[in-house]
Chain A
């Protein structure tokens, strides 16, 4: 079975989903989903170690070798991203039962687990595959599941948020598909590695340009890159809290992964930039996203929205790293992809714990929680410190690399931007901390969140501290990925 780990990584959650639907009873479905996620986490750890030890794994689905069949390709980049998604999914699913009990009527629980597993499997499928069309299929699975997850939110506005996201997401996926269609008509293959070999030296420049443009814009919509981010704050603030925790930590990260894969490996950074200045555009859009989204986050009254808008800003940092185009910038982007996933998982699980006990996530709901829910707020503060980028947290490491990369390119304004962005983050985080610790709670007493929510919250919070101190795994993993990407297309 060891040689099949690559495909089992995706197949386990994919087949666990229909099984959960048959199980029907909420508790049984939850236990089964936990089992599937933990198994998947084990597989991702094994794959990560296997890739680190002996290089990329190629798996021919159906026994048909690429490019005729579909190839699963686990290399340094994909195993790194898979590890992140699995860590977050395991944390979220363990806490999901307690959070759902407080948020959703019981009959909606087992469909939640089904959709969660589908979304999880879809995201992993995008990362594991080496086939450009297979990406689209799994993009559809994860997107459809995400729309339904958002629509499950208890407010009626959740339906509208899901609908908005559905429209934008479908346009994005269609753009990607059109781009892949053009690439297929140019190369006659759907395999990424094969495509990367055939693309240079093609004569039909207009068609190549259109293909690039559609792929890039399509992924940018999924990535919620400014100014295509309109769907994100509503979707994240309306979805059930644990769904938000998972999506915020993984969905946009996978979109960025896909972008990096297409941009550096398949299309080729230089080839794309010869047609459009994508790198410069990304620097500009990323910078605007950091400033505008962070400023917007200060004015929000709902903590979920604060963190959702902060996500839009953090995506700005990620694309800045990609836009710099040098090895250090890419490494900063990958590091921040991983660390920001952990940060947002911790923060949104903390919000879920608050919603579970208090019933809402408005700023005034947090009054006095520092005393009433010390463990929850403690975990949240660690996540928040990491978000700001305080030394000894994971967030510091990735911002440090981003600053180094900007200095290497001689772009001093970017260094200033990172500092300003962190300063604004301090501002909007402080508003929450102030309310929680320095304002008295009135009304009924609130008890600490259930253990099953504190466990994943603290696992994520401690991960933020751990990866802030011992960076060998994250820096090493991202470095391998960068070497692999930059080496494949010098």
Chain B
């Protein structure tokens, strides 16, 4: 990846790298992390990078020289990292502090306290639910930032119809038509199955967004924007955060702490269920619309520059 001068190859290699790390995570029994890495690292990241390449060109403009100071810093850093990692408890060690202290309660008590089989979801959505709210806001911030920088504030759906990126590929269009409903359906499955298996709002949002982005690539931006206009996306990306945040506020009203879902129903475990389903919905909405928004912003920015040059 570092040596490649062809940026297209770099992007493809990073996609492969994402897929490989996902496999590593599977081997380490971290199915949720693997799922996220597969959806983000091997899915949406190369897609967005390819869109960037359409505006910056495929090849590096300048040949790089080796710079010795950064190289030296990197070597020292890598050395320090290796020296440190060697002292970390071995993988899977029973007596590792990270298994003994806080994690123990998550493993032993979460079935009784939260009542869902996927402990990762329990930790993410309830025990550390405020971190997850923060992560959703990070994605929201990124989307707002990208849109304002590339589109200059208020996005408007263009009137003229534009040619699709891959309009001439008949086979792709037919296969795409068959696959897109399945992708969207799978996204919904991942969304609502997050309590029981690997998955949840983040992965579902990304998968859902990939379905729409695929549609935009095959059938043209204006068609895709007729399905999801930019104004609606802007609204949705905020809505997801607000849903998540309002669940927290609702908890305050009924007398619990912020994001303490137990008060939402007479039975604490049912309350946890309701809370988790609602906040995961918020996560899914914001992530999906943020990804689509970022993709649209990139394509629109490229498009308008091409028009200027013509």
Shortest Cβ distance from A145 into chain B, in angstroms? 5
- Interface size class on chain B is 35 or more
Contact across chains for B257 and A67 when beta carbons are under 8 A apart = no
Contact across chains for A189 and B141 when beta carbons are under 8 A apart = no
Contact across chains for A111 and B259 when beta carbons are under 8 A apart = no
Contact across chains for B260 and A62 when beta carbons are under 8 A apart = yes
Collect the chain B residues with CB atoms within 8 Å of residue A24's CB.
Answer: 154, 234
Bound-state CA distance A198–B234 (Å) is: 45
Contact across chains for A62 and B138 when beta carbons are under 8 A apart = no
Contact across chains for A115 and B145 when beta carbons are under 8 A apart = yes
A14 within 8 A of B: yes
Contact across chains for A18 and B102 when beta carbons are under 8 A apart = no
Contact across chains for B238 and A144 when beta carbons are under 8 A apart = no
Contact across chains for A70 and B130 when beta carbons are under 8 A apart = yes
Contact across chains for B128 and A63 when beta carbons are under 8 A apart = no
Picked from A68, A134, A145, A182, the residue with its CB within 8 Å of the CB of B127 is A68
Chain A interface residue count, CB cutoff 8 Å, equals 65
In this complex, what residue of B is CB-closest to A104? Answer: B153
Picked from A15, A188, A209, the residue with its CB within 8 Å of the CB of B103 is A188
Shortest Cβ distance from A10 into chain B, in angstroms? 9
The verdict on A145 contacting B145 (CB below 8 Å), with A140-B138, A207-B88, A213-B80 known, is yes
Which label, helix, strand, loop or mixed, suits the secondary structure of the A interface?
helix
A385 within 8 A of B: no
* Segment at the interface with B among A146-154, A247-255, A323-331, A339-347: A146-154
In this complex, what residue of B is CB-closest to A186? Answer: B97
The verdict on A62 contacting B145 (CB below 8 Å), with A22-B235, A107-B154 known, is no
Collect the chain A residues with CB atoms within 8 Å of residue B154's CB.
Answer: 24, 107, 110
Collect the chain B residues with CB atoms within 8 Å of residue A125's CB.
Answer: 134
Contact across chains for A188 and B259 when beta carbons are under 8 A apart = no
Contact across chains for A141 and B134 when beta carbons are under 8 A apart = yes
The verdict on A206 contacting B87 (CB below 8 Å), with A18-B242, A61-B130, A62-B257 known, is yes
Binding site for A on B (CB under 8 A): 80-81, 83-84, 86-89, 96-103, 105-106, 126-131, 133-135, 137-138, 140-142, 144-145, 147-149, 152-154, 234-235, 237-239, 241-242, 245-246, 248-249, 252, 256-262
Give 7 CB contacts A-B under 8 Å.
A61-B130, A63-B262, A112-B148, A140-B138, A152-B149, A198-B97, A210-B83
Binding site for B on A (CB under 8 A): 1, 4, 7, 11, 14-15, 17-19, 21-22, 24, 59-64, 67-70, 105-112, 114-115, 118, 121, 125, 133-134, 137-138, 140-141, 144-145, 147-148, 151-152, 159, 178, 182, 184-190, 198, 204, 206-207, 209-211, 213
